[in-house]
């Protein structure tokens, strides 16, 4: 509303200036040439004032449009944030429900380990096999690296001997 008040004030000032110009025209045109020159100068200054007021009105109008666009984008963002918050609340409630169900399931489990020795021995067998596989992989990688090093050194030796011997003569 503040912008609308400013616009109305500027429009009222423009109307007042127009009325002053009419009054000046009536008063000065009846008088001699020196007063007419004063009238022309006054009209010129008032036209400048009217031009600046129009420019101010255009700037205020542009600012009002920009403010409207900003408000629309803020409303859109607010709507998106509200939607996200609602989805977050739903997800949080679902998680709480899942946790309650899991707690119920865990509470009903029989955790007496003395009865399931078969499972423990089976788990240890699996762990042993995994460790053996990891050991084999590490040993294989070490062997591969050592063979790569020897090939590289042989390549270097062959390269140097080729440079030194070309046929039966030294280079």
**Contact (Cβ atoms closer than 8 angstroms) between residue 7 and residue 60:** yes
H-only helix segments in 30-116: 33-108
Q: What is the pTM for the complete model shown?
A: 0.38
pLDDT tens, residue order, the chain (171 aa): 677 787 788 788 888 887 777 776 666 555 566 766 777 777 788 888 888 888 888 888 899 899 999 999 999 999 999 999 999 889 998 888 888 888 887 777 666 656 666 666 777 888 889 999 888 888 878 777 776 665 555 555 555 555 555 555 554
**Contact (Cβ atoms closer than 8 angstroms) between residue 15 and residue 72:** no
Q: What is the pLDDT of residue 17?
A: 80
């Amino acid at each position: 509303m503040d912008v609308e008040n400013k616009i109305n004030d500027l429009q009222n000032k423009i109307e007042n200036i127009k009325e002053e110009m009419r009054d000046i025209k009536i008063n000065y045109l009846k008088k001699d040439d020196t007063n007419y020159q004063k009238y022309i100068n006054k009209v010129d200054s008032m036209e400048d004032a009217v031009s600046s007021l129009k420019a101010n009105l255009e700037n205020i109008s542009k600012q009002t449009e920009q403010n409207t666009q900003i408000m629309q984008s803020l409303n859109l963002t607010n709507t998106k944030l509200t939607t996200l918050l609602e989805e977050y609340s739903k997800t949080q409630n679902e998680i709480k429900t899942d946790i309650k169900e899991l707690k119920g399931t865990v509470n009903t489990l029989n955790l007496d380990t003395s009865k399931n020795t078969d499972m423990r021995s089976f788990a240890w067998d699996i762990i042993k096999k995994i460790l053996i596989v990891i050991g084999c992989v590490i040993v294989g990688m070490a062997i591969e690296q050592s063979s790569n090093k020897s090939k590289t050194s042989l390549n270097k030796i062959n390269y140097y001997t080729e440079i030194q011997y070309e046929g039966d003569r030294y280079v």
